[in-house]
Structure 1
Amino acid sequence: MARPFPYLLYSGLSRKSGRHRAERLDRLVQNGALSQSARDQRLAQNLPNRPKGEVLWLHAATSFALRPAMELMCRISEDRPDMFGLITLSPDVQPLAGAALENGHLTILPEDDSAIARRFLDHWSPDSLVWIGGQFRPNLLRETHERHIPTLAIEAPESPTTLDLTSPVPGLRKHVLGGFDHVITATSEAAYPWRRAGLNAEQIEVLGYLEEGGIAPSVDEEELTRRMAEIGTRPTWYAARLDRSEVSEVIRAHKRALRRAHRLLLALSLSDPSTRDSVLAQMETAGLTAAILDPDHPISESDQVVILANEPHHSEEGLWHRIAPISFMGSSLGPFGGSDPYPAAAMGSAILHGRNVSDFTTAYARLAAGNAVRAVNDGFELGEEVGRLMSPDQAALMAGAAWEVASTGAEVTDRVANLVQDFLDLRERITP
Structure 2
Amino acid sequence: MAIALSFLLYKSLIGRSERRITERLSRLHSAGTLSETEYNQRLAHKLPTRSKGELVWLHAGTQTALRPAMELYARLAEDRPDIAGLITLGTGVAPPIGSLPDGCTITVAPEEGAGIIRRFMTHWDPDCLIWVGGKFRPALIQAAQERGVECLSIDAAKSTPILEVYQRIPGLRGAVLTSFDHVITANAAATLPWRRAGVDPEQIEALGLLEEGGIAPPYDEMELTRRVTEIGTRPVWFAAQVDEAEIGEVIRAHKRALRRAHRLLLILSLADPATKTNVMAQLEKAGLAVCGLHPDKAISEVAQVILVPHSSGGIWYRTAPVSFLGRSLTPAGGIDPYGAAAMGSAIVHGPYVSDFKAAYDSLSASKAARKVRDGYALGEEIEQLLSPDQAALMAQAAWDIASSGAEVTDRVADLVQDFLDLRERISA
Is structure 2 residue 183 aligned with structure 1 residue 187? Answer: no
Q: CA deviation at 1:175?
A: 0.8
Deviation at 1:214, TM superposition (A): 3.5
Return the alpha-carbon distance in structure 2 between the equivalents of residues 371 and 25 of structure 1. 46
Q: Superposed, which structure 2 residues align to 1:44-59 within 5 Å?
A: 44-59=44-59
Aligned position for 1:420: 416
Q: Distance in 2 between matches of 1:294 and 1:362?
A: 37
Alignment of 1:193-342 (within 5 A): 193-308=193-308, 310=309, 312-313=310-311, 316-342=312-338
- The one-letter code of the counterpart of 1:92 is G
Q: Which moved more, 1:36-45 or 1:67-76?
A: 67-76
Q: Is the 1:345–1:351 Cα contact (8 Å) retained in structure 2?
A: yes
Which residue of 2 is the match for residue 111 of structure 1?
111
Distance in 1 (CA, whole Å) between partners of 2:12 and 2:422 is 36
Cα deviation code 1:213-235 (max 9, x no counterpart): 23212221111111111111000
**Distance across 1 between alignment mates of 2:404 and 2:361:** 14
Give the letter for the 1:347 counterpart.
Answer: M
The equivalent of 1:67 in structure 2 is 67
Query: Contact conserved, 2:214 with 2:341, CA < 8 A, in 1?
Result: no
In structure 2, the gaps of 5 or more residues are none
Aligned partner of residue 215 in structure 1, secondary structure: coil
| Partner SS, residue 87 of structure 2 | strand
Tell me what 2:170 maps to: 170
* Superposed displacement of residue 9, structure 1: 3.8
8 Å contact from structure 2 (residues 18, 114) kept in 1: no
Match of 1:24, SS? helix
CA distance in 2, matches of 1:41, 1:351: 39
SS at match of 2:46: coil
Work out the CA distance in 2 between the residues paired with 1:252 and 1:262. Answer: 15
Q: 1:168: how far off?
A: 4.5
Which amino acid is 1:374 matched to? R
What secondary structure sits across from 1:86 in the alignment?
strand
Q: What is the deviation of 1:165? A: 1.5
Q: Distance in 2 between matches of 1:392 and 1:104?
A: 39
**Deviates further, 13-22 or 399-408:** 13-22
Please report the TM-score for the alignment, with normalisation by the length of structure 1.
Answer: 0.96
Alignment of 1:339-358 (within 5 A): 339-358=335-354
2-structure distance, mates of 1:146, 1:52: 22
Query: 1:145–1:179: 8 Å Cα contact kept in structure 2?
Result: yes
Map 1:80-119 → 2, pairs under 5 A: 80-119=80-119
- Tell me, yes or no, if the aligned pair for 1:142 and 1:176 is still in contact at 8 Å: yes
Shift of 1:39: 0.6
After the TM superposition, which of the residue ranges 251-260 and 96-105 deviates more from structure 2? Answer: 96-105
Amino acid at match of 2:4: P
Q: CA RMSD in A?
A: 1.5
Shift of 1:167: 4.7
1:16 Cα shift? Answer: 4.8
**Secondary structure of the residue that 2:268 maps to in structure 1?**
strand
Letter in 1 for 2:333: G
* 1:65-99 residue CA offsets vs partner (Å, 9 max, x unmatched): 11111111111112222211111111422222223
**How many angstroms apart in 1 are the aligned matches of 2:316 and 2:299?**
13
The code of the aligned residue for 2:110 comes to P
The amino acid of 1:380's aligned partner reads: Y
Query: Is the partner of 1:88 in helix, strand or coil?
Result: strand
Range with bigger deviation, 213-222 or 317-326: 213-222
The one-letter amino acid of 2:328's match is: S
For residues 260 and 276 of structure 2, what CA distance do their matches in structure 1 show?
27
Q: CA deviation at 1:201?
A: 2.1
How far the C-alpha of 1:101 sits from its partner, in A, is 3.3
Q: Deviations over 1:163-210 (max 9, x none)?
A: 002354432111100110000011001011111121122100111111
Aligned residue for 1:152?
Answer: 152
- Which among 398, 401, 417 is matched to residue 402 of structure 1? 398
Asked if the contact 2:134/2:159 (under 8 Å) is kept, the reply is: yes
414-423 vs 101-110, greater mean Cα deviation: 101-110
- Shift, 1:297, TM fit: 3.9
Alignment partner, residue 383 of structure 2: 387
Any idea what SS the aligned residue of 1:328 has?
strand
Hey, what's the Cα distance between the residues in 1 that align with 2:169 and 2:68?
30
What amino acid sits opposite 2:409 in the alignment?
Answer: T
> For the Cα contact (< 8 Å) 1:215–1:410, is it kept in 2?
no
How much does 1:51 deviate?
2.7
* Matched letter for residue 325 of structure 1: P
> How much identity, in percent, do the aligned residues show?
58
Any conservation in 2 of the 1:214–1:408 contact (CA below 8 Å)? no
Unpaired segments ≥5 residues, structure 1: none
- Which AA in structure 2 matches 1:256? R
CA distance in 1, matches of 2:385, 2:394: 9
CA contact (8 A) 2:332 2:353 kept: yes
Tell me what 1:161 maps to: 161
Does structure 1 residue 25 correspond to structure 2 residue 21?
no
Q: Structure 1: which amino acid aligns with 2:68? A: P
Q: Does 1:120 align with 2:116?
A: no
Check whether the contact 2:15–2:115 (CA below 8 A) recurs between aligned residues.
no
